[in-house]
Chains A and B, each alone.
Chain A
Amino acid sequence: MPSPTTTRPRPLSPNVQIYRPQLTSVLSILNRITGVLLSVSAVFLVVWLVAAARGPQTYAPVQEAIASWIGRIALFGATFAFFLHLCGGIRHLVWDTVHGFELRTIYISGWSVVAASVVLTVAAWIASASMGG
């Protein structure tokens, strides 16, 4: 007779796939995803600095890569990831002071994070273009 407690694979919490995505949960996971993406971007920051330190010959191909279409798309993505993580991070720091936990406030701050990230990303690229980038 099989024991009822033996090895039948049970779903482990948090089985997120059964939940409908909400602003709160989407922003929560996006904060992690953008954080990991920015850590990867930090590798390229160091590559860029090391290339600059080695001289114009080494810097030129890096500059070319940044100016290429793939480079620009990656940089645009990194800019948006940066502002989303920055705004999301500030929202988390406010939460750490035990403020803003009412459902209404959480949705206001959540949409503010989305709006601010979009506006700041577009503003940064317009400013960069006006500087001759």
Chain B
Amino acid sequence: MDPQNMQNMRSPLARAIGLGSAKEGVASWWAQRVSAVALVPLTLWFAASIIANSGSDYATFIVWLRTPLTAILMILLLIALFYHSALGPQVVIEDYVHSATKFAAVIAVRLGCSALLTAGVVAVLRITLSVERSDAHTQNPATRLAQRIHPRRIERVLVHSDDERAGRQCGVR
């Protein structure tokens, strides 16, 4: 059935109540604006931080990313960014895609944004909440290599060998 006939099949009551895009469309329109307002300071902070970290190596960069304020702002940026990135391309798709792929494309954008947001937030939390890795660059390469095998195991080995040496020195063995 073509859209013209569907329009005519609406009852006068339905037309009077005015159910349609004017209701739900506004929520999406507002969400796009609110996320845009949030993104102005967040993206400017991010750009300034990246510029300030331009010459940094991995260790320095991680130290910056590990501070609570950075982690909080980074997660807020990811939330606002992927919220905005779900709504914006959806409007573009709805305007230019007029086939059966329209629905699939909108769903794909939505799911993609959810997946990317989750991956980004988990990555930030991993960096912020990890204890061992932040100290990795200060330790010697052998310890670092062993830590990658298992953080606890190297500790055990070190403690054990220390005990042995101490034991030998005291003449226990």
Question: A108 contacts the other chain (Cβ, under 8 Å)?
Answer: no
Question: Chain A: residues with CB nearer than 8 A to chain B?
Answer: 32, 35-36, 38-39, 42-43, 45-46, 49-50, 52-53, 55-56, 59-60, 63, 79, 82, 86, 89-90, 92-93, 96, 124, 127-129, 131-133
Supposing A35-B92, A128-B51, A132-B54 touch, asked if A86 and B40 sit within 8 A by C-beta, the answer is yes
Interface residues of B, dominant DSSP: helix
Q: Does A53 lie within 8 Å of B123, measured CB to CB?
A: yes
- B137 contact set on A, CB distance < 8 A: 56
Q: Which residue of chain A is the closest to B62 with respect to CB atoms? A: A52
**Distance of A5 Cα from B61 Cα, bound (Å):** 67
Query: How far apart are the CA atoms of A46 and B117 in the complex, in Å?
Result: 8
> Count the B residues whose beta carbon is within 8 Å of the partner chain — how many?
38
Binding site for A on B (CB under 8 A): 33, 36-37, 39-40, 43-44, 47, 50-55, 58-59, 61-62, 65, 74, 78, 81-82, 85, 88-89, 92, 116, 119-120, 122-124, 126-127, 133, 136-137
Q: Contact check: which of A46, A53, A90 meets B126 at CB < 8 Å?
A: A53
Which residues from A are CB-within-8-Å of B120?
45-46, 49-50
Q: Which residues of A contact B53 (CB under 8 A)?
A: 131
Contacting pair A39 B89 (CB below 8 A) = yes
Bound CA span A45–B137, Å: 24
Residues on the B chain within 8 Å of A35, using CB? 88-89, 92
